[in-house]
Each structure stands twice: as structure tokens, then as C-alpha cells.
Structure 1
Amino acid sequence: MDNISKKKESGKNKKKMLIKILCWIFFICIVLILNIVAINLNIVLKEKNKILSTEEASNLNADCIIVLGAGIRKDNTPTWILEDRLIVADKLYKNGAAKKLLMSGDHGSQEHNEVRVMRDYSLNEGVPIEDIFMDHAGFETYDTMYRAKEVFGAKKVIIVTQEYHMYRALYIADKLGLDAYGVTSDLRFYSKKMVYWKFREYFARVKSFIKCITKPEPKYLGSPIDLKASGTVTNDEE
């Protein structure tokens, strides 16, 4: 075989190998997409029946109402998303759905104290300070639910968040052994970024699905706190 023929044969082999590699990449991508879709469908279908109206949830007599953090502004006021969660949670509390509020958010530094902002909002709405517990280490939804059970001793909870986030929150709570129900807090239009947040949620559900299998401890755990006591034990003022 002359050099030209060898080069042609080599070129054909490289082309075949490239096609084979591309086919494998395509196959792997399809499998990954199908798994992401399957996990998301599983979570949504499993938890959708546990989402209740404010009126339905008012008869649950839960241990606490969990309010999930959603960011604060530079002037230490809640974002719209967080404010709506607080509005719904306060309404549930006043309707007798639970005797305690559990504010769970990011208190990663002295300058960023999300849970204090959440607590102060509810205080201004007339909720007694002894009925508001602050979870200073609710850095993500998984940590919040883990700590709600293992630190605060909750068994039956009502979760307040927006619908796009609710399915994942309920799924995590369920897998960690909580008897959890949800009340959505979509009270207004938030931002065009909601499309991005909903898209990101597809992958967040996959991450949570895996964590609920391995069940790692949260970043911070800490000593038990009795929800039947006064919420002032969780205050952080000096």
C-alpha cells in the first residue's frame, strides 16, 4: 500500500473514531437529560398533593411553620420573595396552624443577618418574640430541614415558600423523616429572573435527590433547642 492509500485509510479510521466518540457523547447527554427529567417528575408528582391552601393548613396543628430565607436588601429589609413568605407565614400563625415560627436563613456574618430581618418583620406584624425561633445556619434547604428535625425537634411542619421551590423543600423534608406540608407564597410578580430560577431549580432538585440518598450532616448542627420553650433562646443580640 502506497503512502497516499495509507493516508486515506488513516483518515477514514479517524473519521470513524470521531463519529463513534460523538455518538457516545450524544448517548450520555440523552441519558443525563432523561435522568434529570425523571428525578424532577418524581419529586413534583410525589409532593404536589402535600401543597395546601392557607385555610386547609390552618387545621394541621403543626409543631412549627418553617419560613425559608430568600435574601435581604442592603437596607436590611426582606426581598419581595422573602416578604411574601413572611406574610403567608404570619397569616398561618394567626390562624392557629402552628404555635411557633421557625425562621431559617443565612447568618453567615455580622453584616448579613437574614434571620434577624425575618424575625423583626414578624415582630412588627404582631407575632410575640417568644414564638419566633431563629435558625442561623439555614444556608440551604437541606440544612434547614435537617436542623428542623435534629436540632429543633420538629416532627410535623408547614413549609412556606414559592411553588417552584416548594416541591424540593417538601421532598427533602419527607426524606429526612418530617411530616411536612406546604403553603405557597406566590403573591406577586417578582422578576424576569424567575425563568432562570425555575430553570436552575431543575438541577437543584437533582442535587437534593442525591443528598437525600447519602444524608450528610449540614454544615452546622449544634445542640438541641426545644420548640416548646421561648424563641428568645435563639436571639443573637449581645
Structure 2
Amino acid sequence: MRTLSQAVQTVQTRLRWPPRPVLSSWFRLPRTRTGQRRAVQALILACGLALLPTTWLFVSAEGRLRTTADVPRTPVAVVFGAGLWNGEPSPYLAHRLDAAAELYRAGRIQAVLVTGDNSRVEYDEPDAMRAYLTAHGVPDRRIVSDYAGFDTWDSCVRAKKIFGVDRAVLISQGFHIRRAVALCGAAGVTSYGVGVDDRHDVTWYYGATRELFAAGKAALDAVFRPDPRFLGPREPGVSDALASG
């Protein structure tokens, strides 16, 4: 008959008590100096590769960022959608539209291409953006709507292929504007970016953090150049807006 201590030892053996650390079972440091050095080199390489897309965005947008006061005169401004609140532009989107209206009043742009999501009947970013701009002094005939700007790459490609935009001022928040400039450049649109200021609230920090992950997708879009979710026929909206009196 086994003693109590023998029974306890048997239970501990079966349960592998005390439990092995989960992390140590997944990751074991090499025992040799050579192995440890290679592990450190592999970690540094992985970190470098992870930062490459963000580095590409900064390099691509170098020298292309301006303010509403010093951006060069350009025929078209492109304003990217940034969400609606109860059918109205969100505060972030309203700030983008304010910058576009300011540029129009200053004579630095002649037309505005508003690009956003209208994938559902009850959600229409471009029309809400148009209504906001007209209420702030931009004539309706000077506004062109892109209803299939589902993301930044789609908006840039459609600006070039559908609306014939070759040069533009891009308007967005500061944390997003470098990606917009880089992607529109990859799509064939020569652009300057105006990053509007916003207070650094929870939404701002969320957007800035999201950009770290969006940079990877942006790099893939620039390399593989996928077609937008919806392309469609070429539209004369921008050329008509520029020709209108």
C-alpha cells in the first residue's frame, strides 16, 4: 500500500507540478553565444522590416506637406471621408472640410473632390460633405462627389483613373496625410498634403496607432496596385467643375 507522500508525488508527476511557464515552452534562448547572437540579429532584422512601411511613408511624403497658408495653388483639392455623426460630418471630417473651404476662399484651389463611403443607402459621406461645403461658401458646381472612396488607395486610384486628376492638394488629419500623399503618388497623382490640426484626444491617438498597421497595407497597395473595389467608367465631374464659371 502506497504512503501519502508517494501518492502526492504521483499526482505532481502527472500534473507536472509545479507547472512549466508557458512562455518558456514557446520561446527558449539559445544556450551558445553564437546562437544568442543570431537570435538578437534576427530580432533586430524583424524590427527593421516592421518599420520599413512607415519609413517609406515618411520618405515618400518628404517635402510634400504644407499648411493652408503656404500650399501651392493647385486646381483640385481631395478631401477624404472621416465618418458621419447622425448624418453630419464628424468633427474630424468637418475640420478637413473647413480647410478645403479656406483654400477655396483664398483662391488656392478651384474645385473640391469629396471622396467617401456610400456603400449603404443610409450612409452617404460624399453628400454630407457636399452639403457642409456649400454651407461654408463653396459653390455646388465646384464640388465633385466620389461615392466609392472606400479607403485611401481606392480614393487615390479613382481620382486618377475615373476623375482624371493629375495634381491635387490632399486634405486629412496629420496622422493620415503622409499615407495619403504616398498612396496618391503611387497611383499617379502628384500631390501636396495639408494635415489639419486636432486636439490629441482618444480618437486622435486611435488614428495615430492605426496608421502604424495601415502602413503595411499601404506598402502592399503601392507594390501590387490592386484595382479599387469599384472602378466604373470615367467621369467628367472634375473637368466640368474646373470649366464652370
Q: Which TM-score bucket, shorter chain as reference?
A: 0.7 to 0.9
| 2:228 maps to amino acid | P
**The one of 122, 125, 147 aligned to 1:114:** 125
Give, in angstroms, the shift of residue 177 of structure 1: 1.3
Listed as ranges, the matches of 1:193-232 within 5 Å are 193-226=203-236, 227-230=238-241
Cα distance change, pair 208–25 in 1 and its aligned pair in 2 (3 A): farther
Q: How many residues align?
A: 211
Listed as ranges, the matches of 1:1-238 within 5 Å are 19=29, 30-57=44-71, 59-60=72-73, 62-73=74-85, 75-186=86-197, 188-189=198-199, 191-226=201-236, 227-230=238-241
Unaligned runs of at least 5 residues, structure 2: 1-24, 31-35
Give, in angstroms, the shift of residue 139 of structure 1: 0.5
Deviations 1:102-133 (A, max 9, x none): 00011111100111110000011121111110
| Worse-matched range after superposition: 43-52 or 213-222 | 43-52
Deviations 1:165-207 (A, max 9, x none): 0000000011111111011111x31522322321220110111
Give, in angstroms, the shift of residue 36 of structure 1: 2.2
Give, in angstroms, the shift of residue 26 of structure 1: 7.7
RMSD: 2.3
CA distance in structure 1 between the aligned counterparts of 2:196 and 2:144, rounded to whole angstroms: 20
Aligned to 1:133, the other structure's residue is in SS state strand
Query: Which of these two proteins has the greater Rg computed from alpha carbons?
Result: 2
The sequence identity of aligned pairs, in percent, is 27
Deviations 1:129-173 (A, max 9, x none): 111100000000000000000000000100000111000000001
CA distance in structure 2 between the aligned counterparts of 1:178 and 1:38, rounded to whole angstroms: 23
Deviations 1:68-109 (A, max 9, x none): 000001x21111110000000111112122211000011111
